[in-house]
Amino acid sequence: MKKFDVFVFGTGTAGKLVANTCKEAGMSVAIIDNREYGGTCSQRGCDPKKLILASVEAFNFAKDMTGDGIDGTINFNWNEAMNYAHRYTKDIPDKTEHELKDKGITCLHGEATFIDPETVILDGEKIKAAHFVIATGMTPLKLGIPGEKFMLTSGDFFKLKEVPEKVVFVGAGYIGMEFGQILARAGSKVTMIQKGEQILAPFEEFTARQVENTSEQLGIKIIKNAQASSVEQREGRYIVNYSMEDGMHQITTDCVFNTAGRVPATSSLDLEKANIVSDKNGVVVNEFLQSTSQPHIYACGDVSSKNLPLTPLSSIEATVVSKNLIGEKVKIETPAIPSTVFTIPQCAGIGLTELQAEKENRKYKVLQEDGSEWFNNKRINAKAYAYKIILDKENGLIIGAHIVGPEASEQINMIAIAMKAQMTFKELRKTIFNYPSWGNDFKGM
């Protein structure tokens, strides 16, 4: 029977980092994936999305500047934008696998399942390991509604051959809003069906509302307090039935996406046979990222019960797991975590929202303003720019920051540095920034 020091499930950001580090430390390592190597971020998430956004942003920029230096008809070409993204992503699976193999890591394909805490089975063959690392990421949430099989999921977005005339997204979260805006700019008539009152719910209401307003200006219809109840197929099109307080409604569309959230990908691992405890947040782990029920088994990335499911956190968690496996004793510790929805304008946040600060009974001060008339925003004829900075009333430290604007992701990175360095907002503002630049806007906030 084959036996390894470390057996890793998943070849995404988290899994491949653990496999590489353990191998470099001299351990015997096997890694497995049930689809192509490379994971969500590189194949059907962050990277292809941002590559498509390169031309969407250029298209939008040129449109905003039309009459102020840009002349003539500007077209967005869906197939070219998709080909551009695929050119970058298509070689990654083979390259990832070759790099792992070249290091001497055993690369497997398929679905290995636990049969006991020390053993998995793959195609009838038993494999033992001293340690297992679960890094299987997340998968789209099942809505459990009739006709769900007609719904597309985020991975299908990157396979769209043409821009649908009409499209419905069930769920106006990160994925729904990012993809909805891309398709709206490409020419689709987009409708969002959102369960609650707020789109982009974990974000500050003030900034999320600006994304809502700009999306509506773009022609996106956002139906809030609505829940999809079934999807029917009729003559090559789809009818989405949804319920609202005043009763049932329906909408006919060319395609419908399930963007209602993602859940930990654990269902095919037979975790119970190894007595590995998991819940709705994933494999339950302690501060060392060890399974609380099986300490020789670790979990990291989206599938672990700790932290938000974001790429930088998958890397941080994988680093902690690797260090623990090679004999250091390291706890997961994260400074404040920035996050951005890559819409136009971008919606970025870090730390507490005002509502959270209120609920935690914090003594705080809010700096909030609409910056849409500020020079940086006016210079590019951008639609929206606003911020809300929440400061500890006593010591002036930043406890939350929320920016909506063309470069909000980079501005929030600067706030992340200030928060990590325990710098007050006043100190941050004393920095000399380039002028004119988005960083310099902190001086005016």
Ligand X SMILES: Cc1cc2nc3c(=O)[nH]c(=O)nc-3n(C[C@H](O)[C@H](O)[C@H](O)COP(=O)(O)OP(=O)(O)OC[C@H]3O[C@@H](n4cnc5c(N)ncnc54)[C@H](O)[C@@H]3O)c2cc1C
Ligand Y SMILES: NC(=O)c1ccc[n+]([C@@H]2O[C@H](COP(=O)([O-])OP(=O)(O)OC[C@H]3O[C@@H](n4cnc5c(N)ncnc54)[C@H](O)[C@@H]3O)[C@@H](O)[C@H]2O)c1
What residue ranges bind ligand Y (CB under 6 A)? 143, 170-176, 178, 193-196, 201, 227-228, 259-262, 308-310, 339-342
Q: Among 265, 348, 386, 389, which residue interacts with ligand X (rule: CB under 6 A)?
A: 265
CA pair distance 439, 36, nearest whole angstrom: 40
301 binds, among ligand X, ligand Y, none (CB under 5 to 8 A by kind): ligand X
35 touches ligand X (CB under 6 A): yes
Min. distance of Cβ 203 from ligand Y in angstroms? 9
41 binds, among ligand Y, ligand X, none (CB under 5 to 8 A by kind): ligand X
Q: How far is CA 381 from the centre of its chain?
A: 28
195 binds, among ligand X, ligand Y, none (CB under 5 to 8 A by kind): ligand Y
13 touches ligand X (CB under 6 A): yes
353 binds, among ligand Y, ligand X, none (CB under 5 to 8 A by kind): none
Nearer to ligand X, 57 or 392 (CB): 57
350 touches ligand X (CB under 6 A): no
- Cis link prior to 436 (omega < 30° from 0)? yes
Nearer to ligand X, 336 or 397 (CB): 336
Query: In sequence order, which residues have a C-beta less than 8 Å from that of residue 159 and are 6 or more positions away?
Result: none
Q: How far is CA 137 from the centre of its chain?
A: 11
302 touches ligand X (CB under 6 A): yes
Are the C-beta atoms of residues 346 and 340 closer than 8 Å to each other? yes
Q: Among 18, 310, 357, 445, which residue interacts with ligand X (rule: CB under 6 A)?
A: 310
Are the C-beta atoms of residues 53 and 102 closer than 8 Å to each other? no
268 touches ligand X (CB under 6 A): yes
CA pair distance 121, 114, nearest whole angstrom: 6
Amino acid code (one letter) for 358: E
Give the interface size with ligand X as a residue count (CB under 6 A): 34
Question: And the tokens for 333?
Answer: 């510790």
The owner of tokens 């009818």 is 239
203 binds, among ligand X, ligand Y, none (CB under 5 to 8 A by kind): none
CA pair distance 304, 316, nearest whole angstrom: 12
Nearer to ligand X, 45 or 147 (CB): 45
Are the C-beta atoms of residues 350 and 415 closer than 8 Å to each other? yes
Nearer to ligand Y, 126 or 249 (CB): 249
40 binds, among ligand X, ligand Y, none (CB under 5 to 8 A by kind): ligand X
Nearest to 201 by CA among 192, 278, 265: 192
Question: And the tokens for 432?
Answer: 């000399």
- Site stretch for ligand X (CB under 6 A), options 190-198, 221-229, 262-270, 330-338: 262-270
Q: How far is CA 280 from the centre of its chain?
A: 17
Which letter does DSSP use for residue 105 in this model?
P
Min. distance of Cβ 396 from ligand X in angstroms? 29
Label residue 186 exposed, middle or buried (CB < 10 Å: 0-12, 13-18, 19+). buried
Are the C-beta atoms of residues 242 and 229 closer than 8 Å to each other? yes
15 touches ligand X (CB under 6 A): yes
CA pair distance 91, 79, nearest whole angstrom: 19
The radius of gyration of the chain's CA atoms, rounded to the nearest angstrom, is 23
Residue 261 annotated as binding?
yes
185 binds, among ligand X, ligand Y, none (CB under 5 to 8 A by kind): none
154 touches ligand X (CB under 6 A): yes
CA pair distance 168, 204, nearest whole angstrom: 25
Nearer to ligand Y, 132 or 179 (CB): 179
A 10 A CB-CB count for 83 gives 11
- Site stretch for ligand X (CB under 6 A), options 250-258, 281-289, 308-316, 384-392: 308-316
21 touches ligand X (CB under 6 A): no
CA pair distance 81, 99, nearest whole angstrom: 28
Extract the runs of DSSP E, i.e. beta strands, from 141-274: 166-170, 189-193, 221-223, 227-234, 237-244, 247-253, 255-258, 262-264
Nearer to ligand X, 154 or 215 (CB): 154
321 binds, among ligand X, ligand Y, none (CB under 5 to 8 A by kind): none
Min. distance of Cβ 143 from ligand Y in angstroms? 6
Are the C-beta atoms of residues 347 and 207 closer than 8 Å to each other? yes
Nearer to ligand Y, 175 or 297 (CB): 175
The annotated binding site for NAD(+) is made up of 171-178, 261
* Positions at the binding site: 50, 171-178, 261, 302
- Give contact residues for ligand X (rule: CB under 6 A): 9-15, 32-35, 39-41, 45-46, 49, 111, 135-137, 154, 175, 265, 268-269, 301-302, 309-312, 314, 342
Which residues define the annotated binding site for FAD? Answer: 50, 302
